[in-house]
Amino acid sequence: MAMLKYRDALRLAIKEEMERDPLVFCIGEGIGERGGSYKVTDQLYKQFGPGRVIDTPISEASFVGMAAGAAIVGNRPIVEILFVDFACLAMDQVINQAAKYHFMSGGQGFVPMVLRTQGGAGNSLAAQHSQSLEALFYHIPGLKLVMPSTPYDAKGLLKSSIRDSDPVVFIEHKLLYMTEGEVPEQEYLIPLGKADVKREGTDVTLVTYSHMTLKCLEAAERLAAEGVEAEVIDLRTLVPMDRDCILASVKKTGKLVIVHEACKRGGIGGDIAAMVVEEAFFDLDRPPVRIAGKNTPIPFSLNLEKLCVPSVDDIVEAVRSLG
């Protein structure tokens, strides 16, 4: 095992896949000699050159469309969009083209493209650079959606995403890039659609993903000191979602708290709660609880920003309210 930062685990995954498959290439703004704003592609330009690490103009619609076309003819592009907020500029290319091509070609065509981007609040980047927009992509048939929380998961899931035949939206939280964790030195893959039980428990199920996984684990430790054992499920991939893992945990604990940073209204938590009520109603001792971001744009003020997203205290209080 090696201790790696989240961003370094991502870089290693890209490097290994580019070495393994000459059809893999990177494209995006400032990812070449500058190494990307979050340094995920640092040094890749020196190894692979401008033909496979391609700097683009500031035009998301053009280079996402270019990547989709390249994928259709057999390449495996990794597109980097600096903020998930900017993905809105390429929604036609992602939603109407990449997501639909396999279906509209009668299953004959594929779009093996990974769209890497980062989202979430943190660092006072204000309303246009701090959104959690995963529910937009979650809603679209034909897209896969990955949101890892640890360096280990980030590397294994990115490698699997690059090898997948479908377009994958891969969202990295801005506050995770400098977090560290153990990563095997030998090659490994993590299959898409497989959740991870980050902490086992018997009293309540916490379902979460991305940066909120860290907060749920901290909340679980505090609850354990009170005699409450929380099971923390990190979904890792939202599409496909590991429904069996969620349902098995709820059957064991009888209580469900869903935690995500995105706005509560129209959030993925509502879909998870509905699924559990529809398929495991009689396993529940209490109605599911959702802990989510406020239905407001993210303020520039760091103090106000913190009030807009779930805290460890919010999670602990939600569990306590279940009795």
Model pLDDT for residues 47-60, shown as the tens digit of each residue: 999 999 999 999 99
Residues paired with 144 in a beta bridge: 168
Q: Let me know the angle formed at the C-alpha of 272 by 88 and 136, rounded to the nearest 5 degrees.
A: 5
CATH number belonging to the domain at 2-183, selected among 1.10.10.10, 3.40.50.300, 3.20.20.70, 3.40.50.970: 3.40.50.970
Average model confidence (pLDDT) for the chain?
97
DSSP string, 209-273: -TTHHHHHHHHHHHHHTTT--EEEEE-SEEES--HHHHHHHHHHHS-EEEEEEEESTT-HHHHHH
Could you report the per-residue pLDDT of 93-148, keeping only the tens digit for each?
999 999 999 999 999 999 999 999 999 999 899 999 999 999 999 999 999 999 99
Surface-to-core class of residue 8, CB atoms within 10 Å of its CB (0-12 exposed, 13-18 middle, 19+ buried): buried
CB 12 within 8 A of CB 158: no
User: What pLDDT, on the 0 to 100 scale, is given for residue 7?
Assistant: 98
Residue from 102, 129, 211, 260 carrying the catalytic annotation: 129
Q: At residue 174, what are phi and psi to the nearest 5 degrees?
A: -60, -25
Q: At residue 143, what are phi and psi to the nearest 5 degrees?
A: -105, 145
- What tokens appear for 80 in the block? 């980097």
pLDDT below 50 — which residues of the chain? none
User: What pLDDT, on the 0 to 100 scale, is given for residue 10?
Assistant: 98
Q: Is the dihedral of CA 316, 317, 319, 320 positive or negative?
A: positive
- What tokens appear for 50 in the block? 């401008």
Q: Report the b/e string of 39-68 with b at 16+ CB within 10 A.
A: bbbbebbeebeeebbbbbeeebeebbbbbb
**Among candidate residues 188, 221, 207, the one with its CA nearest the CA of residue 276:** 207
Q: Is 129 a catalytic residue?
A: yes
- Chain centre to alpha carbon of residue 4: 19
Q: How many helices (H) and strands (E) does the chain have?
A: 12, 14
CB 150 within 8 A of CB 181: yes
- Give the predicted TM-score (pTM) of the model: 0.97
Q: How far apart are CA 159 and CA 118, in angstroms?
A: 17
User: What pLDDT, on the 0 to 100 scale, is given for residue 112?
Assistant: 98
Q: How far apart are CA 175 and CA 122, in angstroms?
A: 7
The 8 Å CB, 24+ separation contacts for 187-191 are 187/16, 187/159, 188/155, 188/156, 188/159, 189/156, 189/159, 189/160, 189/163, 190/153, 190/156, 190/157, 190/159, 190/160, 190/236, 191/160
**How many other C-beta atoms are found inside a 10 Å radius of the C-beta of residue 161?**
29
Same fold yes or no, 2-183 and 196-321? yes
Protein fold of 196-321: Rossmann fold (3.40.50)
Q: Where are the domains of the chain?
A: 2-183, 196-321
User: What pLDDT, on the 0 to 100 scale, is given for residue 323?
Assistant: 84
User: What pLDDT, on the 0 to 100 scale, is given for residue 144?
Assistant: 98
